[in-house]
Amino acid sequence: MTKGKVLILEDDVVLADQIALVLKRFNYEVLITPNSDIFFEELRVFNPDVILLDVFLVGSKLNGIEVLKHLKTNMDLNYKVIVISGEVTATQVQEIRAMGAYHFIEKGSSFSTNQLLLHIDNAITLKRQEEEHIGLQIEYINLKKQFTRSFPFIGESNAIKKVREQIHKLADAGEDLFLMGETGTGKEVAANYYYISSNRFGKPFHTLNCSALTETLIESELFGHTRGSVSNAERSKTGFFEECSNGVLFLDEVTNLSLVSQSKILRAIENKEIQVVGGPMKKVDTRLIFASNANMQVLANPERFRRDLFYRIEGNIVELPPLRERGEDILLLMSFFLTSFTNKYNINDKLDLSTLSAHLLSYNWPGNIRELRNFCKFVMINEKTITNEVIIQHLNMKMNGKDVNRDLENSRYVNMSNLKASMTEYERDFLIHHLNANRWQVSKTARVIGIERTTLYKKIKQLDITLMPELKD
């Protein structure tokens, strides 16, 4: 098996043949070219690992230094260059090294083929290490792209921008993370965003739903067990804490854990060690992401959540806003879901979703992003042609649980004299509804419905809406 490929650019044919003979004896593949005129074509075809380059090339258009300069300027220097020459100045040697040459060997009485073999071997080893490193970097980048595509953190609202910033800071600082939010607000997506943003990306990453397991099983899953230490344990098991050492462990619905399990997690955080069920203590270095749909009242209840654990993660809590508080993101999310489902269900309809904003915001989406996603999926599955009207129809059915056409026939908006009057009245009712829902706080209402505060004030004036005394801004 060949150890590598060496291209020799040397005008001294005798010396070149001697070097080639030695290299071939040690299983190197060798090609000799006597001048620079054909060198670059030979380089392209042969694709060597190492180039042996003479400086003074009699009968060549370019000397060795000019060849090296061309290699550095116009080509990827993904091979190692060893310059061999006799009569060069110290300045020229410095220039040769500055241009990226791996090594310089002086011709003459001190020249040794053993020395040359050693430098070639080391050069090829370094080249292979660099290629492996580049390969790992490419793999890392591709893996990151895959994660980002699988768990896109969609949203341009101020609320979600703040969340991304908080998560990124905690990940960058190497801190644990506690995600709070209603069901369906995207805690899994946020957890993956943390993982991608941390220096532990590419290391083990596991998710465990704490509400899906019994107390006995949860400790076995978290900390592992030895053979025979738990029921039906025919072999030892490595727990997630140990598996994710140097990586990240995502504990979803952590408030469902017992206080005993919580104390063991706290020990793992503070002492970086775990107690294997029926086994020894083990050192671990596991970064943790907690998540819960419980509110702060639950976390503040010592009967549900340990005080010491709460104080440990209190500064690392990030609250994910419900969808109703990030109205400007609804269209972005719907567009993403409809596009993804279009490919899956082979429905190719182009929609102008911008006109749907008012309709989408008229519903509070209690199931948040998960509900919006399932809504889009339902529409795509059940309709051959997807239009704005079809989406509105399904949304109305969802909101009312009634026959849409009958509702429209009886609607006061439909029975008005003209379209303008109907739209004006609908807009007025829409704003009153959201103002009331937000205790007549104009700034908060503007954020929820996705418009500027000044714009909302203009609308209030135009539509002759009387602000309630509860107004606080």
Which CATH number belongs to the domain containing residue 423 in this structure? 1.10.10.60
Strand ranges inside 410-451, DSSP E? none
> What is the length of the chain?
473
- Residue ending a domain, among 275, 306, 321, is 321
CA distance 255 to 241: 18
- Helix, strand and coil percent figures for the chain, each rounded to 5: 55, 15, 35
- In contact, 48 and 8? CB cutoff 8 Å: no
Q: Do 300 and 195 belong to one domain?
A: yes
Structure tokens at 252: 């979803």
Which CATH number belongs to the domain containing residue 183 in this structure? 3.40.50.300
Tell me whether strands 281-283 and 273-275 are parallel, antiparallel or unpaired.
antiparallel
Does residue 51 fall inside a structural domain? Answer: yes
Does residue 189 fall inside a structural domain? Answer: yes
Does residue 285 fall inside a structural domain? Answer: yes
Instruction: Render pLDDT for 206-227 as a digit per residue (tens, 0 to 9).
Output: 999 988 788 778 888 999 888 8
| Average pLDDT of the residues in 284-304 | 90
Q: Do 91 and 214 belong to one domain?
A: no
Report for 41-55, 396-410, 454-468: range of highest mean pLDDT: 41-55
Does residue 161 fall inside a structural domain? Answer: yes
Which residues 6+ apart lie within 8 Å of 339 measured at CB?
none
Q: Do 16 and 115 belong to one domain?
A: yes
Does residue 11 fall inside a structural domain? Answer: yes
Q: Do 220 and 283 belong to one domain?
A: yes
| 356 exposure class (CB count in 10 Å sphere: 0-12, 13-18, 19+) | middle
- Residue ending a domain, among 131, 163, 195, is 131
Which CATH number belongs to the domain containing residue 12 in this structure? 3.40.50.2300
Q: Do 164 and 255 belong to one domain?
A: yes
Q: Do 51 and 190 belong to one domain?
A: no
Q: Which helix (H) or strand (E) holds 403?
A: none
One-letter amino acid for residue 69 of the chain:
K
Stretch among 115-119, 301-305, 441-445, 468-472 having the lowest mean pLDDT: 468-472
Please give the model's pTM, rounded to 2 decimal places.
Answer: 0.60
Tell me whether strands 50-54 and 4-9 are parallel, antiparallel or unpaired.
parallel
Mean pLDDT of the chain: 83
Does residue 467 fall inside a structural domain? Answer: yes
Q: Do 124 and 175 belong to one domain?
A: no
pLDDT above 80: residue 122: yes
For residue 181, give its domain range: 151-321
**In the prediction, which pLDDT does 193 show?**
93
DSSP 172: H
Instruction: Render pLDDT for 368-417 as a digit per residue (tens, 0 to 9).
Output: 999 999 898 888 888 777 888 888 888 888 776 543 344 444 455 555 55
CA distance 345 to 385: 12
Does residue 390 fall inside a structural domain? Answer: no
Q: Which of 304, 288, 281 is nearest to 223 (CA)?
A: 281
Q: Do 258 and 121 belong to one domain?
A: no
The C-alpha angle 114, 117, 123, rounded to 5 degrees, equals 145
Number of domains comprising the chain: 3
Q: Do 115 and 251 belong to one domain?
A: no
**In the prediction, which pLDDT does 140 show?**
56
Question: 254 φ, ψ to 5°?
Answer: -70, -25
Q: Do 190 and 117 belong to one domain?
A: no
Greatest CA span in the chain, whole angstroms?
A: 107
Q: Do 73 and 167 belong to one domain?
A: no
Report for 32-41, 80-89, 132-141, 150-159: range of highest mean pLDDT: 32-41
| Average pLDDT of the residues in 167-193 | 94
**In the prediction, which pLDDT does 76 show?**
59
- In contact, 92 and 84? CB cutoff 8 Å: no
Sign of CA dihedral 290, 295, 300, 302: negative
| Average pLDDT of the residues in 302-324 | 92
Instruction: Render pLDDT for 56-99 as a digit per residue (tens, 0 to 9).
Output: 888 788 888 888 888 877 765 577 999 888 777 778 788 888 88
Does residue 93 fall inside a structural domain? Answer: yes
pLDDT above 60: residue 158: yes
**b/e sequence 302-315, b meaning 16+ C-beta within 10 Å:** eebbbeebbebbee
Question: 205 φ, ψ to 5°?
Answer: -140, 120
- In contact, 282 and 322? CB cutoff 8 Å: no
Q: Do 61 and 190 belong to one domain?
A: no
- Residue ending a domain, among 254, 288, 321, is 321
Map residue 213 onto helix, strand or coil: coil
Which residues 6+ apart lie within 8 Å of 168 measured at CB?
193, 197
